[in-house]
């Protein structure tokens, strides 16, 4: 069982070891040798100028508080992580409670994004009413908001996981807590049982009594899409990234989470590719299409640049046109 993206009631003790930012050599070592791979894959796993090294953490940032040592591609493979196979290859999303339009991120966009990101089929299940489940709740004394006990949710999800599921992920607009002594938790997962739950509640400014602002819908979709792939990545056995600015960086607070990019670094792309076996250029073309559709123009431009680096401008144009055309028909 792993705590994910947690914040606790008491100040955390800072570990005796402090985090050392990996140098260029260490970043390349984490990717591993790509000799013997196709030219396209060698370029896909080469950082070129498209990825920034992980920055030195500020005092309240994740790596200052949790000085993790990282997980290279080779360490990932050796850990024997769960992989989708012939029998279990569908990502299921289980909404818990209400997802009100205008307040919650659109489930269909989240489904579409996860499908493009992991190149797997993603299904959104009908929402579970919280009243009918045996889920312990409490009212958080600081925020005044209702909170759901994650362990009860995981117990419910374990009973409901489908035979063809790679994993079943509960998502909710309610706030969560993992045990009475904790203030809250963003999410929690059991990798062995292939279930997890996470909340988007704290990505909504209204949670803190702050006005939502004009660009709220896009901001919430970006934050939710980010947490969705980050937490789903843990289900594939990906540990936090300490090498580059990456969607799999740990985060301790909202500013840190907002500063993370939507894309993964070459170390994590290689892990996902090893696990899922997708076509890397095809996947980038699908992601670019999604980013254009929802107005994430910076991400669309980054993805297009990356695609051009891997397959060349002409082939990139052809792939993008094919994916866009398929989406219309
Ligand atoms: Zn995490
Ligand atoms: Zn990474």
- Ligand nearest 234 Cα, by number? 1
Cα-to-centroid distance, 78 and ligand 1 (Å): 20
pLDDT at 327: 80
pLDDT at 4: 42
pLDDT of 175 over the 50 cut: yes
pLDDT band at 248 (very low <50, low <70, confident <90, very high): very high
Cα-to-centroid distance, 75 and ligand 1 (Å): 17
Cα-to-centroid distance, 234 and ligand 1 (Å): 7
- How many whole angstroms separate alpha carbon 177 and alpha carbon 198? 10
Express each pLDDT in 192-219 by its tens digit. Answer: 899 999 999 999 999 999 999 888 999 9
The percentage of residues in the chain with a pLDDT greater than 70, rounded to a whole number, is 95
- The token pair at 73 is 């591609």
- Ligand nearest 231 Cα, by number? 1
Q: What is the mean pLDDT of residues 71-82?
A: 97
pLDDT at 299: 97
pTM reported for the whole predicted model: 0.92
Q: What is the mean pLDDT of residues 271-280?
A: 98
Cα-to-centroid distance, 233 and ligand 1 (Å): 8
Contact partners, residue 7, CB within 8 Å, separation at least 6: 183, 184, 185, 186, 252, 253
- How many whole angstroms separate alpha carbon 69 and alpha carbon 250? 12
- Ligand nearest 53 Cα, by number? 2
Cα-to-centroid distance, 247 and ligand 2 (Å): 7
pLDDT at 328: 79
Q: For residue 316, how far is the Cα from the chain centroid?
A: 26
pLDDT at 254: 86
- Ligand nearest 191 Cα, by number? 1
pLDDT of 5 over the 80 cut: no
CB atoms inside a 10 Å sphere around CB 283:
22
pLDDT of 126 over the 70 cut: yes
Express each pLDDT in 282-301 by its tens digit. Answer: 999 999 999 999 999 999 99
Residues present in the chain in total = 329
Cα-to-centroid distance, 270 and ligand 2 (Å): 10
Cα-to-centroid distance, 244 and ligand 2 (Å): 6
Cα-to-centroid distance, 30 and ligand 2 (Å): 10
- Ligand nearest 6 Cα, by number? 1
Average pLDDT over the chain, rounded to whole? 92
Express each pLDDT in 94-104 by its tens digit. Answer: 999 999 988 89
pLDDT band at 325 (very low <50, low <70, confident <90, very high): confident
- The token pair at 269 is 């792309």
Q: What is the mean pLDDT of residues 22-32?
A: 97
pLDDT band at 57 (very low <50, low <70, confident <90, very high): very high
Cα-to-centroid distance, 290 and ligand 1 (Å): 23
pLDDT of 329 over the 80 cut: no
pLDDT band at 12 (very low <50, low <70, confident <90, very high): very low
Q: What is the mean pLDDT of residues 150-167?
A: 96
Separation in Å, CA 246 to CA 24, 52, 68, 226, 239: 16, 9, 15, 10, 12
- How many whole angstroms separate alpha carbon 112 and alpha carbon 107? 9
Better-scored residue on pLDDT, 10 or 21: 21
The percentage of residues in the chain with a pLDDT greater than 90, rounded to a whole number, is 81
pLDDT of 232 over the 80 cut: yes
List 174, 231, 264, 299, catalytic entry:
231
pLDDT at 14: 44
Q: What is the mean pLDDT of residues 153-178?
A: 96
Looking at the DSSP bridge assignments, the partners of residue 228 are none
Q: Is 285 exposed, middle or buried (0-12, 13-18, 19+ CB in 10 A)?
A: buried
88, 236 contact by CB (below 8 A): no
- Ligand nearest 66 Cα, by number? 1
Cα-to-centroid distance, 44 and ligand 2 (Å): 13
Q: Is 174 a catalytic residue?
A: no
Cα-to-centroid distance, 243 and ligand 1 (Å): 15
């Amino acid at each position: 069982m792993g705590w994910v993206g947690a914040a606790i009631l008491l100040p955390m003790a800072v570990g005796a070891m402090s985090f050392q930012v990996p140098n260029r050599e260490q970043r390349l070592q984490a990717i591993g040798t790509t000799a013997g791979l196709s030219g396209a894959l060698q370029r896909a796993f080469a950082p070129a100028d498209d990825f920034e090294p992980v920055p030195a953490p500020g005092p309240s940032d994740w790596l200052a508080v949790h000085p993790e040592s990282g997980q290279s591609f080779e360490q990932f493979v050796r850990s024997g992580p769960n992989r989708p196979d012939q029998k279990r290859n569908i990502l299921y999303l289980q909404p818990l409670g209400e997802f009100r339009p205008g307040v919650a991120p659109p489930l269909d966009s989240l489904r579409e994004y996860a499908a493009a990101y992991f190149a797997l089929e993603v299904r959104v299940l009908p929402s579970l009413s919280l009243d009918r489940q045996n889920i312990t709740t409490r009212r958080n004394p600081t925020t005044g908001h209702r909170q759901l006990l994650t362990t009860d949710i995981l117990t419910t999800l374990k009973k409901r996981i489908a035979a063809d599921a790679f994993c079943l992920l509960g998502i909710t607009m309610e706030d969560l807590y993992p045990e009475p002594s904790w203030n809250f938790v963003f999410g929690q997962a059991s990798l062995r049982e292939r279930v997890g739950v996470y909340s988007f509640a704290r990505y909504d400014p209204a949670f803190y009594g702050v006005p939502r602002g004009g660009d709220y819908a896009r901001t919430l979709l970006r934050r939710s899409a980010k947490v969705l792939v980050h937490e789903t990545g843990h289900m594939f056995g990906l540990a936090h990234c300490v090498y580059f600015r990456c969607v799999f960086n740990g985060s301790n607070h909202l500013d840190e989470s907002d500063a993370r990019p939507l894309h993964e670094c070459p170390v994590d792309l290689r892990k996902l590719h090893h696990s899922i076996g997708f076509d890397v250029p095809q996947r980038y073309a699908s992601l670019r299409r999604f980013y254009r559709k929802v107005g994430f123009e910076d991400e669309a431009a980054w993805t297009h640049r990356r695609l051009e680096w891997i397959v060349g401008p002409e082939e990139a144009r052809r792939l993008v046109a094919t994916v866009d055309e398929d989406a219309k028909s």
